Amino acid sequence: MKKMLRITACLLALLIALCGAGYAREKDTTGLLATINGKDVPIDDALTEYSYYAMMYGMYGMTSQLETLKEEIAEYYIKLELVYAKFDELGLEVSEEFVRENADSEYQSAVESYKTYVQKDGKTEEQIRKEAENLLIGDGYDIGYFEDYARNAFRLDAVLKHFTGDISVTEEDVRAYFDDLVASDRELYESNIAYYEQASQYGERIVYTPEGFRRVKHILVLLSEEDQDKMYDLEKQLASESADKAALQAQIDEIFATIEPKAQEIMDKLTAGEDFIALMETYGEDPGMKAEPNKTEGYLVHPQSTQWVTAFRDAAVALEKPGDVSQPVRTSYGLHIIRYESEVPAGPADYEAIKDSLRAEVLDTVMNNYYNDIIDEWYAAADITVYLENFVVAE
């Protein structure tokens, strides 16, 4: 009897152990993005980013893509964690001096930006700054936030340099990159002049210029706002086939008669040999001619330009050689006295002048591609469990 009891007790203990193994409490994954090689990673930053983009996707009717969005954001933040882990594994150390300097610089810049949201009437500069800081901190951007950001940036850059520090590019690599850019710009700009004008206007790098561009400056004698409105209506009426064009033209002539004496005064001074630029600064009423780079370089014009009113464009490209000045040209804005400044050389940019910046771009691309391939390898080799179900946006 005692023997049977002992056996039964052992069986009971074994049963309890087995039941415990089979029905162990499941891991609480609330608030986690993933478990990476046994380490739990909080979802906080990833969820904040997902919440923002989920709102945007909702606004544009893209909710069917939310699952893909979750996967992309999860992968991005998991790869960040893998890089941070590699930083520790390599025994690298963060430069706290770098963190302090960069965090303070970014914090001060953010405070200056937030000052635009502060009502300034009757307040001292110190009060304005304090309110801006309170707004910034209220949005979650205290100095600690900027320190964390700088610290993480240092870690990412340190790992990048560790694995890509020996990478270099050849002169042939840079030249090939330049040739590809030229071919791309040529195809883009020659098929649509407006793209070239837009790129130039916004200061984008241009490595190929189509034929036919020139720079011009002008002295604008402006119509009053009331007369500009009248001109707009009259021009619309002139476009009608049934319009009494003679009567409408008479009204247009009457409007321009209000500013023609001033334009003639300018023309007389030019004929007498006075300097065009000096007269432009004295009489010109186009704000665009007072701001750089237009003030120095002039406007970019082409026979196919679409950014200028037709009369202005046609008069600008009709001038035969640099230095030529037009007679007053009528547009709905007023009277324009246009001077041809210079031809814009067509063809590829000067390779020697930009090759150093191109080399930096090529090197950066090669380094990042190599770096991303390495991170992809870490990602594929890691033991990762992702908790996409935790991407839940609070109502």
pLDDT attached to residue 238: 86
Asked whether residue 24 carries a pLDDT value surpassing 80, the answer given is no
Q: Which long-range contacts (CB under 8 A, 24 or more apart) does 270-279 make?
A: 270/325, 270/337, 276/217, 276/219, 276/325, 276/339, 277/217, 279/219
Instruction: Return the closest-CA partner of residue 146 out of 107, 195, 96.
Output: 107
235 SS3 class: helix
**Dihedral class, residue 217 (left if φ above 0, else alpha if ψ from -120 to 50, else beta):** beta
Q: Please report the sign of the dihedral spanned by the C-alpha atoms of residue 305, residue 309, residue 314, residue 316.
A: negative
pLDDT attached to residue 337: 98
Which one-letter DSSP state was computed for residue 369?
H
DSSP letter string, 140-177? T--HHHHHHHHHHHHHHHHHHHHHHTT----HHHHHHH
Weakest mean pLDDT among 18-27, 230-239, 253-262, 307-316: 18-27
Evaluate whether 213 touches 301 at the Cβ level (below 8 Å). yes
**Mean pLDDT computed over 128-151:** 94
What residues does 221 pair with on adjacent strands? 335
**Mean pLDDT computed over 193-199:** 94
Weakest mean pLDDT among 15-29, 152-166, 212-226: 15-29
Evaluate whether 207 touches 351 at the Cβ level (below 8 Å). no
**Mean pLDDT computed over 300-321:** 95
Evaluate whether 329 touches 338 at the Cβ level (below 8 Å). yes
Q: Please report the sign of the dihedral spanned by the C-alpha atoms of residue 229, residue 235, residue 240, residue 241.
A: positive
- Position 205: which residue type? R
**Mean pLDDT computed over 29-46:** 95
Mean pLDDT of the chain: 91
Main-chain dihedrals φ then ψ at residue 239, nearest 5 degrees: -75, -15
Asked whether residue 395 carries a pLDDT value surpassing 80, the answer given is no
- Position 121: which residue type? D
Asked whether residue 358 carries a pLDDT value surpassing 80, the answer given is yes
∠ CA 353-355-358, nearest 5°, is: 130
HSE (side-chain half, CA atoms, 13 Å) at 149? 15
Q: Which long-range contacts (CB under 8 A, 24 or more apart) does 324-327 make?
A: 325/270, 325/276, 327/267
| Alpha carbon separation from 166 to 153, 169, 295 (Å, rounded) | 21, 10, 46
pLDDT tens, 149-181?
999 999 999 999 999 999 999 999 999 999 999
Beta strands in the chain (DSSP E): 32-36, 39-42, 208-209, 214-222, 299-301, 329-331, 334-343, 347-348, 384-386
Instruction: Return the closest-CA partner of residue 339 out of 358, 316, 360.
Output: 316
338 SS3 class: strand
Asked whether residue 49 carries a pLDDT value surpassing 70, the answer given is yes
- Label residue 18 by pLDDT band (50, 70, 90): very low
- Position 248: which residue type? L
Asked whether residue 10 carries a pLDDT value surpassing 80, the answer given is no
**Mean pLDDT computed over 208-222:** 97
- Label residue 25 by pLDDT band (50, 70, 90): low
Asked whether residue 319 carries a pLDDT value surpassing 90, the answer given is yes
The torsion defined by the Cα of 80, 86, 91 and 93, in degrees rounded to 10, comes to -10
- Label residue 243 by pLDDT band (50, 70, 90): confident
pLDDT attached to residue 16: 35
Asked whether residue 359 carries a pLDDT value surpassing 60, the answer given is yes
- Label residue 17 by pLDDT band (50, 70, 90): very low
Question: What domains sit in the chain, N to C, each tagged with a CATH number?
Answer: 32-164+370-390 (1.10.4030), 212-237+245-345 (3.10.50.40)
- Label residue 242 by pLDDT band (50, 70, 90): confident
